[in-house]
Amino acid sequence: MADQLSVPPVLKGNYAFFFDLDGTLAEIKPHPDQVSLSVDARNALHLLAQKNEGAVALVSGRSMAELDALASPLHFPLAGVHGAERRDFSGKTHIVALSADIVSALNDQLTTALESLPGCELEAKGMAFALHYRQAPQYEERIMALAQGLVGFYPELALQPGKCVVEIKPQGISKGEAIAAFMQEAPFRGKTPVFVGDDLTDEAGFGVVNQLDGVSIKVGPGATQAQWRLAGVPDVHQWLQTIAENQQLQEKALTDRRDGHESLSRSI
């Protein structure tokens, strides 16, 4: 049933938009440093923000610094590291951090463990750690066992599986919690939430959006609790462009009607 989800409609109304990045706005690459956000995607996001009072945010496992670099010169509200760090519309940052002792111990243990798993890569994010095995899928079980063992030892930690990656992050952190926090703040508050994502890490976001009677959109195949589906990144770009252009037309029609009414009033 999940794979029979329909393509989402062109949205008309008062919406707040949330987007994952890798696999959603940009194609997944062998290495995270190879990912880029196309000019067309940035332009569509910029136009969408202009037409929706700035209610557009990126919600990703990447750090906020990485998201800013990829979206440059645009500057969006952000939720990085699955919500462990968040920047609201006013520019205020909200950080959930692990103790320095735990971060140091995890870094040492993971660095040592990955020395025996060639092709696997450790990404230290300050308050979280990502174990990438895209280049060495044969080690998936060992990576999972390593991460599960550490999370079992430290009650402050939680596990977040993804596409060829498993992340160790602070307990109670998720993209769903980040979206819920944004929805309590201007300019998102009072709007209908829309979340587009492609990975297991996005399911928590879909759940929150569904609870808020919003629009949840899964990118690519696979079981999901999202209501709608887009086949891939190019389809996301096309859908984005269509929404942005449609909102422009709606705004122009409203302006034309207003100008026509004012002209009629003056003539009377």
Q: Round to whole Å and give the CA distance between 250 and 223.
A: 35
CB atoms within 10 A of CB 233: 20
Strand-pair partners of 162: 165
φ/ψ of 95, rounded to 5, equals: -120, 135
Q: Round to whole Å and give the CA distance between 32 and 135.
A: 12
Strands 85-87 and 93-95: antiparallel
Q: Round to whole Å and give the CA distance between 228 and 73.
A: 31
Where helices occur in 52-201 by DSSP H, the ranges are 64-71, 100-114, 140-153, 175-182
Establish whether 20 is a catalytic residue. yes
Catalytic residue chosen out of the listed positions 20, 68, 88, 198: 20
**For 13, left (φ over 0), alpha (ψ -120 to 50), or beta?**
left
Residues tagged active-site: 20
